Structure 1
Amino acid sequence: MDGSVPQQRMSLRYFSVAQLTSVVERSHARLCAVLVLLSLVCFLPGFTSLQPMDRDEPRYAQASKQMLEAGDFVDIRFQDEARHKKPVGIYWMQSASVAIGQALGVPEARTTIALYRIPSLFGAIATVLLTYWAALAFFGRRGAFLTAALMATCVILMVEARLAKTDAMLTACSVAVMGGLARAYLSRGAGVLPRRALLIFWTGFALGILIKGPLVIMFAGLTAAVLAYKERSVRWLLTLRPWLGAVFTLAIVLPWFIAIALKTGGAFYSEAVGHDMLGKVGTAQRYHWAPPGFYLVSFFATFWPGAILAAIAVPFAWIHRREEPVAFALAWIVPSWIIFEAVPTKLPHYTLPLLPAVAIITVMAISRHFVGPHRPAAKLATVLIPFIPVGLTIGLSAVGWSFDGMPPFRALPFLVVSSLLALWAWWLFVKNRMVPTLWAGFISAAFLAIGVFGFAQLDLRSLKLSDRLAEVARNVACDNPQVATLGYREPSLVFLTGTNLEMVETGAQASAFLQQGGCRVVFVEKRYEGEFRTENERLKQQPTLSTRIQGFNINSGRRVDLAVYATGF
């Protein structure tokens, strides 16, 4: 009888796990609740404490802040400069988020970066849930859940969920569109789509245009063109009610597009199309240049922990390319990916809206037992599963030691656990236990998010230059000081210190700024300090050296030493 007790406990444990899984899978709502919980664990650590990440995030946030300051919700500006690069959608969302925060009494709401990030958080969660909805056109509930969980835990979505930019919300809109398009293609014999699918499709289409212009049109248009060529017909697109949808889209996007044309005399379009979009296609934005193949290489980091499994699934996609579900996913990925690789300007997040289709093919291949240790070189290749958390554990420890004199001790337990779980995922793969491999990867990603975003970034004070400078400016012994900066020109400093921050070009200008009288603070980078002091001696003024701020500027890739001078207190 004693020997039967462990066996009874073991069977009860397995029965409970199986029963719990069965109960959760009975309902879309329950599965979505689990996905939201997983998303929050991956997206929330560090959401409020991570500093504004130069350069794009504070540019978006500052432009939204200036909308609130000026009461102008048509034009988009960064200080005195017109920011005619993207449509207005994300700025409206960020402004609304901050306005609600102010109404609820959040202190210093307009310089609280977390409020500007809320639309990105909602966009990332919506991406996960809409990936589940889109994947239901290809799988049952379990397959759709695993597909969405791959998105919730992938590195690039975890990053974009924390940044006040367009990309998380654009991805949500794109997945809404592609989920509707998949239903139109895969169920084209039915002749009609449910109203809910039509509403999701056209709402995603309209909001996608209002957030980032033509990209959502490109994703849907290229996919539809490839499939129409394959079918030698476009009749299946009629189930999307295109005429009614076009009217709906124009009703949403046209008012602002007309208003900005009238407001700027057409300058918005010449800047957005002529400089921003064509600049990416041409050579105007060389500082983001990368060779073709950049996205294939970076994919193994951006889509971790699912990337290596997706790579193993590539032959499956080729073998089954004529099957309609696989054909749709490939039409979603391949044409747009080729364009992104061909365009000289490259950033890792550009391919984010294509990753749900990658997740669909990956889960499809796993469900058909194609992905496993029996594939050529798969056992060796899946060593890449622990590569990201192990690499980050070593890399962040080295960065902390080099810049701040100590490793990020608070983060290390979580990073180590993440690494061990990733190693376990690799061991499970070798044992051909594919679904447990996925789950080990999901949990590893959650611990990685807590370690990197929740704790490691808190300890890397040398990277928080703008935060530290703004804190010094707030704590000078006078109210509302006028602030200028020489040598350090990051947008995050504008966002944190105020729209009126002056960016001077020379030591003479910095000295002249202080001479204007009143309470004034100027940040002077060390390479300009000799010129600045010489000019002060000539003008016979002696500003007080309040403190020095030393750190590392991620964008310039160099160490920075800034002196803080003040007058008038």
Structure 2
Amino acid sequence: MRTGTKTALLLFVFALYYLIPIEFRALWQPDETRYAEISREMLANGNWVTPHFFGLRYFEKPIAGYWVNNLGQLLFGHNNFGVRAGSIFSTILSALLVYWMGIRLFANRTVALNACIIFLTSLLVYGVGTYAVLDPILTLWMVAAMASYCLAAQASTSGQRVLGYVLLGVACAMGFMTKGFLALAVPVLAIVPWAVAQRRFGELLRFGPLTILVAALVSAPWSLAIYRQEGDFWHYFFWVEHIQRFAEDDAQHKAPFWYYLPILLAGSLPWLGLLPGSLVQGWRQRGQQPGLSYLLSWTLLPLLFFSIAKGKLPTYILPCFAPLALLMAHYTQSMTPHVVKALKVNAWINMFFGGVAAVALAVVLAPWGLAHRPPFGVTEHYKLMLGILAFGGWTLFGALSKKNWQLAACCPLILALVIGFAIPDRIRDSKQPQNFVAAVSGQLADSRYILANDPGIASAVAWELQRNDIRFYERKGEVGYGLDYPDAQDRYISANDFPAWLAQHRKQGKVSVAMIMSSADANPDTRLPKPDFVYRQGRLVYFGYDAQP
């Protein structure tokens, strides 16, 4: 495939994967609705120093990720695309840096373009890169950090070397202000061993203080500003969000050491067939090309670190897919018999995956399927057909990639275009509350008080209605720390206190309660007084209490 054709394919991939379908996908709770609402409140109150969630102090993450998300809503408005714009354009900028590194490391535009295509269409990169969380933004700063050190390591003048170390400090500072000290793990773990192996550790010691100084100067204004506004921020953020989350026995999201192996394999689709060969080739040729050893260090050492950590989430290894894309692209360039075989295997893997997924939908997950509780209802045949079509397209493009391996980039294309319309109602009614909120928006808009039993559904209500005065019924969830402050005591009502609270407050206006139940068959809370209006949509339930002067 010619370079011009590959560039056109890259633009085609960008538009069809990252732009066109995004507005048609409802926001997922709790992550997307949370970040949508935090940024909306930041734009509304003008405080770009301290994050607030429902007007409560929210110290789980630093500020820079919210700044990026703020710009998305500021530029594109109060809509689904505006919420996701920060993640999308961070991913695109990461891809451009991957391209730059492909040119820098291999002096080959074809490798650079192939790496971009592989990166943007890898399942984990695409899935997270079109989802409103902070990980794509963090990935951008981590890729920028590694690209900056690459610039410093290959510098031919002192000025270029200084510039590389300065940019490394800026990228580390922005990563730190996006997700905390975790952001420093990837560049430190990848760069230091490589510098030692390449006998560049002395240079790192000489210029490293410059990087640290720049990082401190960039992050200091906000760090000091939030300390002045909220002196408790650093205590909570360091001990709870870092020590407890990753190292202690009660760490959040605990998982076994091998947790990231299936994530790596599934996340590499539709390029999984290239993964073993690219790693083996990179290892064998690491002595001949320092760039390959750099990419291996960037891939394997952070992966090992996150595997050792007790707290794990799939998104933590997202930065590893940038060097993997470069390794895969370099691997395909030689077109040796081993590479040609790997490309054929990759095509068969995609055909097998798409075929098995389509059959699973038709035989197991369909209303007539073998699953005990099929996700698709008896009236959702069209959604089921869209799902089968999507994975049938994956199989088709897998077959076509036997002749032209780059066409594997199109394997997830139909899935990307139709997924927003193919989500079963059972999943939509528990994870995508926008439809539910729209159905009762009139009742909610007329309410003097709104309560919710979960921050996920509460953030969907707050974002859709553009109001942050939601109160919490029975459960505090992730906003418990903010609710414990003395000035927020009235924002939480226990189940036992609710009847008396309701009797008093409905004198001032209508009261609404939005709840998410443990399952679609669960009975609503019987401790609630009898409502004047009830609406249920799957696991989501609305109770309306009219004003009683």
The TM-score, its normalising length taken from structure 1, stands at: 0.79
Instruction: Name the amino acid aligned to 2:328.
Output: T
Letter in 1 for 2:531: P
- Matching residue of 1:568: 547
CA separation of 1:379 and 1:137: change in aligned 2, threshold 3 A: same
Deviation at 1:567, TM superposition (A): 1.8
State the distance in 2 between where 1:72 and 1:400 align: 48
User: Whole-Å Cα distance in 2 between the matches of residues 374 and 413 of structure 1?
Assistant: 29
Look up the match of 1:118: 85
Match for residue 348 of structure 1 among 294, 314, 324: 314
Q: In structure 1, how many angstroms separate the alpha carbons of the residues matched to 2:147 and 2:540?
A: 50
- Asked if structure 2 preserves the Cα contact closer than 8 Å seen for 1:121 and 1:162, the reply is yes
**Residue 236 of structure 2 is aligned to residue 271 of structure 1:** yes
1:266-319 deviations in whole A, cap 9, x for unaligned?
Answer: x22222221111123224665512111211211121121122311233322232
Task: Report the counterpart of residue 170 of structure 1 in structure 2.
Answer: 138
**Residue deviations 1:17-64 (CA, integer Å, cap 9, x gap):** x7xx25568xxxxx4x75344223212354223232222332222222
Query: Can you give the 5+ residue segments of structure 2 that lack an aligned partner in the other structure?
Result: 368-373, 475-493
Matches within 5 A, 1:393-408: 393-394=358-359, 401=367, 402-403=374-375, 404-405=377-378, 406-407=380-381, 408=383
Q: Look up the equivalent residue of 1:564 and give its one-letter code.
A: F
**Which amino acid in structure 2 is aligned with residue 363 of structure 1?**
A
Which one is further off, 380-389 or 354-363? 380-389
Across the aligned residues of Structure 1 and Structure 2, the Cα RMSD in angstroms comes to 3.3
Aligned equivalent of 2:302: 336
- 2:198 and 2:432 map into 1 onto residues whose CA distance is 56
* Corresponding position of 1:365: 331
The 3 A distance-change label for structure 1 pair 469 and 568 is farther
> Structure 2 vs 1, CA of residues 448 and 190 (structure 1 numbering), >3 Å: closer, same or farther?
farther
Q: Secondary structure at the match of 2:536?
A: strand
Q: In structure 2, what is the equivalent of residue 309 of structure 1?
A: 274
* CA contact 1:42–1:450 (8 Å) conserved in 2: yes
Matches within 5 A, 1:305-454: 305-323=270-288, 324-369=290-335, 372=338, 383-394=348-359, 401=367, 402-403=374-375, 404-405=377-378, 406-407=380-381, 408=383, 409-425=385-401, 428=402, 436-437=404-405, 439-453=406-420
Q: Which amino acid aligns with 2:100?
A: W
In the TM superposition, 1:426-505 aligns within 5 A as 428=402, 436-437=404-405, 439-453=406-420, 455-457=421-423, 461-464=428-431, 466-476=433-443, 479-486=446-453, 490=457, 491-496=459-464, 498-505=467-474
Paired residue type of 1:532: R
* Residue identity opposite 2:151 in structure 1: R
Return the index of the structure with the highest Cα Rg.
Answer: 1
Q: Tell me the amino acid that sits aligned with residue 316 of structure 1.
A: Q
* Partner amino acid, structure 2, of 1:501: I
The equivalent residue for 2:47 is 72
* Mapped partners of 1:178, 1:520: distance in 2: 53
The verdict on how the C-alpha distance between 1:125 and 1:234 changes in structure 2, with shifts beyond 3 A counting, is: same
- Give secondary structure in 2 for the equivalent of 1:475: helix
SS in 2 for 1:38: helix
CA 1:499/1:270 → structure 2, altered by over 3 Å: closer, same or farther? same
**Amino acid across the alignment from 1:484:** L
In structure 1, what is the equivalent of residue 261 of structure 2?
A: 296
User: Take 1:395 and 1:482, find their aligned partners in 2: how far apart are those partners?
Assistant: 45
26, 30, 34: which one aligns with 1:55: 30
The 8 Å contact of residues 64 and 94 in structure 1, kept in 2 or not, is answered as: yes
Letter in 2 for 1:52: L
Q: 2:58 & 2:41 partners in 1: Cα distance?
A: 11
Instruction: Name the CA distance, whole Å, in 2 between partners of 1:527 and 1:360.
Output: 49
Structure 1 residue 441, shift from structure 2 partner = 0.9
1:161 to 129, 141, 156: 129
AA partner of residue 119 (structure 2): M
Amino acid at match of 2:393: V
Task: From the superposition, tell whether residues 341 and 55 of structure 1 become closer, same or farther in structure 2 (CA, over 3 Å).
Answer: same
Q: Distance in 2 between matches of 1:246 and 1:486?
A: 44
- 1:236-247 correspondence to structure 2 within 5 Å: 236-237=203-204, 246=212
Structure 1 residues 116 and 252, CA gap change in structure 2 (3 angstroms) = farther
CA distance in 1, matches of 2:264, 2:299: 13
Q: Which residue matches 2:178?
A: 211
Query: Paired residues, what number?
Result: 506
Relative to structure 1, the CA distance from residue 378 to residue 305 in structure 2 (aligned partners, 3 Å threshold; closer, same or farther) is closer
Q: Cα distance, 1:461 vs. partner?
A: 4.0
Q: Deviations over 1:476-504 (max 9, x none)?
A: 29734522234786454554454222221
Q: Assess, with a 3 A threshold, how the Cα gap between structure 1 residues 131 and 400 changes in structure 2: closer, same or farther.
A: farther
Counterparts of 2:115 and 2:337 in 1: how far apart (Å)? Answer: 15
Are the aligned partners of 2:118 and 2:329 in contact in 1 as well (CA < 8 Å)?
no
| Superimposed CA distance per residue, residues 399-431 of structure 1 (whole angstroms, 9 cap, x where no aligned partner) | 574343324134543432222112333xx1xxx
Q: TM-score, normalised by structure 2?
A: 0.81
Q: Among 524, 531, 539, which residue is 1:529 paired with?
A: 524
Q: Which residue in the other structure is 1:520 paired with?
A: 511
Query: Match of 1:87?
Result: 62
How far, CA to CA, are the matches of 1:122 and 1:342 in structure 2? 31
The reply on whether 1:134 has 2:134 as its aligned counterpart is no
Deviation at 1:256, TM superposition (A): 0.2
Question: How far 1:388 moved relative to its partner?
Answer: 4.3
Aligned residue in 2 for 1:14: none
| CA displacement 1:220-275 (0-9 Å, x = unmatched) | 22222112211333355489x6566555444432100111122222x222222211
Gaps of 5+ in 1: 1-17, 26-30, 537-541, 551-559
Matched residue SS, 2:23: coil
